[in-house]
Each structure stands twice: as C-alpha cells, then as structure tokens.
Amino acid sequence: MPIEKDSPQGRRAPARRAGDHGRYGRLSRERVLATALRLVDREGLSALSMRRTGAELGVEAMALYRYAAGKDALLDGLVEALYAELEERLAASPESPGWRDELHRIAAETYAVALAHPNVAPLLATRMLAVPLARRPLAVLRDHERVLTVLGRAGLDEETTVMAFRAVTGWLLGYVLGDLRAMVDNPDEPDPAFRLGLHRMPARELPRLRDAAPTLARHGGPAGLAAGLDALLDGFTRGAA
Amino acid sequence: MPIEKDSPQGRRAPARRAGDHGRYGRLSRERVLATALRLVDREGLSALSMRRTGAELGVEAMALYRYAAGKDALLDGLVEALYAELEERLAASPESPGWRDELHRIAAETYAVALAHPNVAPLLATRMLAVPLARRPLAVLRDHERVLTVLGRAGLDEETTVMAFRAVTGWLLGYVLGDLRAMVDNPDEPDPAFRLGLHRMPARELPRLRDAAPTLARHGGPAGLAAGLDALLDGFTRGAA
DNA sequence: ACCGTACGTTTACGACGTATATGTACACTT
DNA sequence: AAGTGTACATATACGTCGTAAACGTACGGT
C-alpha cells in the first residue's frame, strides 16, 4: 500500500473511497470466479487468496464475501466454473447416438477442460469429492445425471449401472490427475535419463521402473484415457450381458 | 503461552529453556511425521501447521525445520508415511502366486491404508502426483516397481504394461478418493431422502440421479474396487493375448 | 580445558482469512 | 423534492500462519 491512504486533505484524483463502487464497474459472482480462475491458471493454487483476487479486481478482499461465503466457497466456485465450461463444450458438439461413443465424448471433453486448467484439477479431488452428493454445484450434478443417463442406454441393471458410474468417474478423475502433470523433472535436458531425473533414483533397486520410466514419462493423452474407458466398459457390460 | 516465560529469577520446575532439548527426548524425522499424521487423522488437514505440530511434540515450530525442509516437505512426508504403512501391510501377508491375485492384494491393502487415514488421502492427488516421478519418496517408487513387476508376469509388451500401470494406479486413486468420504449429508437423519440432502436437489431436472442417489451414497467398498480392477485387467490382457 | 557442531529457542516480518463496524450512492417512496 | 432503506464496498482489527536470521546451550572429541 503506497502512501496515499486517503488522507484527510485527500481525494487525490482516482483515490477510491468507501461507497465508490470501484472504477471497473460492479462486481458479480461470474466476474469474481473468472478472475480467480485466471489467477490460478496463471500462478497456481497457492497464489489464490482473497486479498489477491480482490486486488486483481481493483477491490478490497472483503468485497468478495458478498459473492462467495469465504475462501472455501471460492474454491468450490472454481470447480463450478470448470463444470460450466464442460457443459459449454458438450453443448457445442452434437451428441453421439451410441452410448459408448457418447461416454467417450464426455470423457474426452472432461479431459480437455482439465488440461486447460491443470492447476484447478486437484480441486476435483480435494473439494468436489469432499462435498456430499446433494450439495455439489448444479453443473456437477447435471454432469452426473448425464453420465447416468447415458449408462442407462447400455441396458444394465441399477446396481451395475451405479458400479459402472463409479468406475467411469473414478477412472476419469484418476487418469486426469495422473496424466496432467508431466512426470518430467527438467524439460530442457536432452539426455532422457537426466531429463527425467533418473540419476536421482536408486536404479539398482528399481530396475523395472528404470526401464519403464521413459515410456511412463510420456503422457498417455486422450488415447490412454479412451483405452482404459473401453476396458472398463467391456468389463461391466460383459458381466451383465 | 502462560505467564511463566522464564523470568530472570526463573527456572520454575519444568520450564524449558534454549538448549534444553525438550522434556520428551530428542526429535527425529519419524517422530515428527508420526505426530503430524496423528494430528491430521484427528483434526483434518487444515489443522496441520508447523506451530501446532511443534506444540504436539512439546517443541517450538522452528525445531521441525531440521527434519522437514518446510511445510510442503512435511506434507510430502505424510505421503511417505502412508506408503511406509502400505509396505508394512504388504510384508505382513504372503505374496499371492498369481499376478492377478497379487494385484488385488495390493489394491486392497492400498484401499485399507487410505481408509485408515482418510484425511491424508487427498494428498496423494495434490502432492504425490505433482512431484516428478524420480523425485517421489522411495516408498512410493518401490510401490510403482512392485506394480510394474507384477504386471510383467501377465506377459504384456512394454507399451501395454505401461498403459495398464497407468490404468491400475489411476483407477485405484480415483476410486479411493471417491469412495472414502461418505456422500451423506446428515448421517443421523432416518429418512433416506433427508439423510442424503436430496430435498436440496432440484429433483425434477435430475430424475436419474434422484433414483440412483441411495445406491450411490452407499460405499462401493473393496468389492467395487476389485470389480473395476478386474474389468480393467480383462480389457488390457484380452487386447494383448 | 577448549572448541566445534548438533539441536532447539527467540524474535521478527509479511501475508493470510475473516468478524465487525462504517461509509456512500442509488432506487424507492411520499 | 426530500427522505429513507438497502445494496455494495471499504476500514480496521485480531489471531494464525510459514519461515528467515540470530542466538543459546549441551555434548563429544581433542
């Protein structure tokens, strides 16, 4: 905070005062969430604070409390924003006729959204799953509804459908989280062993891992996601059919 | 902090002073991690701070920095502790002869460890996966080595093995994170609809989810984990065999 | 008897989340 | 046109956090 603190003789040209609702227009939940999302995308989760988000908006931290009940709610809002983006994407391309293709479409778009906001993805594990089902943001519930509905087209009984639902969402989350961050230590090093930081690894005791590391360090990408998804779906539909 | 702050006339019976290495014996990395783990198990991740962990040990916060480079390192240490526990458990029961059974054993023990420390589990997503492969704690690398080795017994080629490795670990993580926390809103309410908080849900727009919610709110448990695992393994081995 | 070093404390700083109180401008009434 | 309620943002303050830097004390080796 500089010196011009709104001194009594004050009102230097653009010095905001109480009630002056910001020079950048009014706040809104959307503006707050979008700003927080940009901040996290740019500088990571640990850079997100009420104070910094407020500063980004040209506003004091306490002003945000009208649009998010607290920091936890702000984090939940980021999850919400991600699912809103997913819904947009899904609405942009046509629904596939086959249930299996449709699940692949959903998975691929989810992967794409997470890839676009890698710093936010961990919140899916820490925040979204920690909230009881019925309290999750509407966009999340609509996603669940969509997956359940598509799975219903496969003609499974209720019990198996729920199993498959859990399997698909669990797989999706696990894969996305694992695949998102490069497992690479130093991206600029040309020698693969050094690039992966393998010289730090007691390779003698971990021969299998040493051999697999280069392959492992490559992203599985959407292809790996789809392969696992197919494996899962095969497993559940064969048991039922 | 009470009044007795080591006043000059001081040395009331057990008043610790600089250099008095604590009344509870020396510190060690194991003691620090174990204390932090207990604290998190008892009061949750957000209760973990250097200061509180220190207090729990009868020591100032700064004393911990000799055993963990900072709070981040402390969190990583918790992951390490979890995998150490997993290794103990795996060593306690005999290895299965069949590769498939052995994978089930690993999965089940991993699930059990996570269940024993539900508050720590999110760290597997946020901390462990964020660290480049080669920098992960040794216990984690040994776990990866073990899974890769067991998968090798299935006779898959290198590419497929890595795929399957990713699938298994992803599935494990996703399932554990999703299944750990009850999806229940208010556990004491007898009416299922209220217990699940379904009255908060716009049920009209989410009919499929409303029907599935009771089943969904029940834990899948180890059985669900195993079912998905088998489905995955079937998918990968059939493609190769 | 001396000293280096391992171990823990003290002090301090800036950032954080948020409870509480306060101020201002605009939409309404009348 | 004057008055008023309320929506919106600020101001101030408190306790907690992570951690850098400097300091003290005890102990093993000489």
DSSP string, A112-150: HHHHH-TTTTHHIIIIITTS-GGGS-HHHHHHHHHHHHH
Task: Confirm whether any atom of chain C, the nucleic acid strand, is less than 7 Å from CB of A72.
Answer: yes
Q: Do A163 and A63 reside in the same domain of the chain? A: no
Give the nucleotide nearest to B19 (CA→C1'): D25
Q: Is the pLDDT of residue B90 over 50?
A: yes
User: What pLDDT is attached to residue A182?
Assistant: 64
Q: What are the CB-based long-range contacts (under 8 Å, 24+) for A217-223? A: A217/A182, A217/A183, A217/A184, A217/B133, A219/A179, A219/A182, A220/A175, A220/A179, A220/B163, A220/B166, A221/A179, A222/A108, A222/A111, A222/A112
User: What pLDDT is attached to residue B239?
Assistant: 61
Confidence band for B21, pLDDT divided at 50, 70 and 90: low
Candidate from B135, B145, B196 with C-beta closest to A209: B145
A216 with B165: CB under 8 angstroms? yes
Nearest-CA residue of chain B relative to A164? Answer: B228
Q: Is the pLDDT of residue A7 over 80?
A: no
Section B113-123 average pLDDT: 96
The residue ranking higher by pLDDT, B152 or A14, is B152
Q: Is the pLDDT of residue B1 over 80?
A: no
B152–A208 CB contact, under 8 Å: yes
Q: Do A97 and A134 reside in the same domain of the chain? A: yes
Q: Do B30 and B147 reside in the same domain of the chain? A: no
User: What pLDDT is attached to residue B187?
Assistant: 77
The residue ranking higher by pLDDT, B21 or B117, is B117
User: What pLDDT is attached to residue A183?
Assistant: 56
Output the average pLDDT for chain A.
Answer: 87
User: What pLDDT is attached to residue A168?
Assistant: 94
Nearest-CA residue of chain A relative to B228? Answer: A167
Section B228-235 average pLDDT: 91
| End residue of a domain, out of A11, A37, A68 | A68
Q: Do A129 and A45 reside in the same domain of the chain? A: no
Q: Is the pLDDT of residue A223 over 50?
A: yes
Supply the CATH number for residue A54's domain. 1.10.10.60
* Residue B139 lies inside a defined structural domain of this protein: yes
Section B150-176 average pLDDT: 93
Section A35-62 average pLDDT: 97
* Residue A206 lies inside a defined structural domain of this protein: no
B197–A129 CB contact, under 8 Å: no
* Residue B35 lies inside a defined structural domain of this protein: yes
Section B58-81 average pLDDT: 97
* Residue A33 lies inside a defined structural domain of this protein: yes
Picking from A60, A62, A52, A54, the residue whose alpha carbon sits closest to that of residue A32 is A54
Q: Is the pLDDT of residue A235 over 80?
A: yes
Separation of alpha carbons A216 and B34, rounded Å: 32
User: What pLDDT is attached to residue B19?
Assistant: 54
- The token pair at B223 is 């059985």
Section B227-231 average pLDDT: 92
- The token pair at B159 is 């590419």
Q: Is the pLDDT of residue B122 over 90?
A: yes
Section B201-205 average pLDDT: 89
Q: Do A48 and A134 reside in the same domain of the chain? A: no
Task: Confirm whether any atom of chain C, the nucleic acid strand, is less than 7 Å from CB of B51.
Answer: no
Section A61-85 average pLDDT: 97
* Residue A165 lies inside a defined structural domain of this protein: yes
* Residue A129 lies inside a defined structural domain of this protein: yes
The mean-pLDDT minimum among B119-123, B131-135, B148-152 falls in: B131-135
Task: State whether the Cα torsion B44-B48-B52-B53 is positive or negative.
Answer: positive
Site from B127, B129, B181 to mutate, A interface, most A CB atoms within 10 angstroms:
B129
User: What pLDDT is attached to residue A10?
Assistant: 27
User: What pLDDT is attached to residue B214?
Assistant: 87
Candidate from A170, A179, A202 with C-beta closest to B175: A170
Q: Do A229 and A111 reside in the same domain of the chain? A: yes
- The token pair at A11 is 């009102």
Q: Is the pLDDT of residue B117 over 80?
A: yes
**HSE of A156, CA atoms in CB hemisphere, 13 A:** 24
Separation of alpha carbons B150 and B144, rounded Å: 10
* Residue A80 lies inside a defined structural domain of this protein: yes
The fraction of chain A above a pLDDT of 70, given in percent, is 87
Nearest-CA residue of chain B relative to A207? Answer: B145
Q: Do B44 and B152 reside in the same domain of the chain? A: no
B170–A171 CB contact, under 8 Å: yes
Contacts of B174 in chain A (CB under 8 A): 169-175, 177
Separation of alpha carbons B101 and A239, rounded Å: 19
* Residue A207 lies inside a defined structural domain of this protein: no
Print the domain residue range for A129. 75-182+219-240
B177–A174 CB contact, under 8 Å: yes
Q: What are the CB-based long-range contacts (under 8 Å, 24+) for B207-210? A: B207/A145, B208/A145, B208/A148, B208/A149, B208/A152, B209/A141, B209/A144, B209/A145, B209/A148
| End residue of a domain, out of A68, A86, A118 | A68
Contacts of A161 in chain B (CB under 8 A): 212
Q: Do A63 and A86 reside in the same domain of the chain? A: no
What residues approach strand D to within 7 A at the CB? Answer: A 5-6, 16-22, 26-27, 54, 58-60, 62-63, 66; B 17-21, 48-52, 61-62, 65, 70-72
Task: Confirm whether any atom of chain C, the nucleic acid strand, is less than 7 Å from CB of A192.
Answer: no
Largest CA distance in chain A: 82
Q: Do A63 and A83 reside in the same domain of the chain? A: no
**Cα–Cα distances in Å, from A211 out to B130, B152, B159?**
21, 12, 11
B162–A129 CB contact, under 8 Å: no
Q: pLDDT tens digits for B27-56?
A: 999 999 999 999 999 999 999 999 999 999
Section B67-95 average pLDDT: 97
Count of the separate structural domains present in chain A: 2
CA distance A22 to chain B (A): 34
| End residue of a domain, out of A46, A68, A90 | A68
B212–A167 CB contact, under 8 Å: no
- The token pair at B146 is 């073990």
User: What pLDDT is attached to residue A11?
Assistant: 25
Separation of alpha carbons B200 and B184, rounded Å: 13
Give the nucleotide nearest to B49 (CA→C1'): D17
Q: What angle do CA B100, B103, B108 make, to 5 degrees?
A: 125
Q: Do A48 and A84 reside in the same domain of the chain? A: no
User: What pLDDT is attached to residue B24?
Assistant: 61
The residue ranking higher by pLDDT, A108 or A5, is A108
Q: Do B88 and B168 reside in the same domain of the chain? A: yes
Candidate from A166, A200, A224 with C-beta closest to B178: A166
Separation of alpha carbons B168 and B173, rounded Å: 9
User: What pLDDT is attached to residue A4?
Assistant: 33
Q: Do A45 and A143 reside in the same domain of the chain? A: no
Q: Which nucleotides of C are covered by protein (CB under 7 A)?
A: 6-11, 15-25
Supply the CATH number for residue A160's domain. 1.10.357
The residue ranking higher by pLDDT, A49 or A133, is A49
A186 with A195: CB under 8 angstroms? yes
Query: For chain B, how far is it from start to end, CA to CA, in angstroms?
Result: 68
